[in-house]
Amino acid sequence: MFNFSANRLILLSRTECARCAVFVMKDDSTRRVYRLYDFTKSRIITPGKYYCVSGKVNSADKLYLVIESVRPDSKHTCASTAPVPADGAGGRPVR
C-alpha cells in the first residue's frame, strides 16, 4: 500500500456500486483523470468545486485509489460560476 494525495480535483461523475461509490475526478492542473473508490459510501462530493483528496493505493491485482479524506480546496476556486449539471456533463442543452 502507498499513500496518495491530490489537489485541485473536480468531479466528473459518481457511480454507486454494491460495495462502493466510485468518483471519476480530473486534476485541473495536470489534466489527469482518476477513479477514486469510497468503500464507506459516506463522502459527499459535489460538482463545480475543487477538492483535496488523500488516501491509499491498493495494488493487489488492480490499481485502486481508496479515499481516506476529502475536503474542499480552499486555495483554488473554479473560474466559472455557471451551474454544472449533476451528471458532470457540459455543453449546451439539446433542442
**For 17-30, how does the pLDDT look when each residue is reduced to its tens digit (9 = 90+)?**
999 999 999 998 89
Give 12's pLDDT tier (boundaries 50, 70, 90): very high
- Of 4, 23, 1, the C-alpha closest to 68 is 4
Q: What is the pTM of this model?
A: 0.73
As given in the structure block, the three cell numbers for residue 33 are 483523470
| Half-sphere CA count of 7, side-chain side, radius 13 A | 5
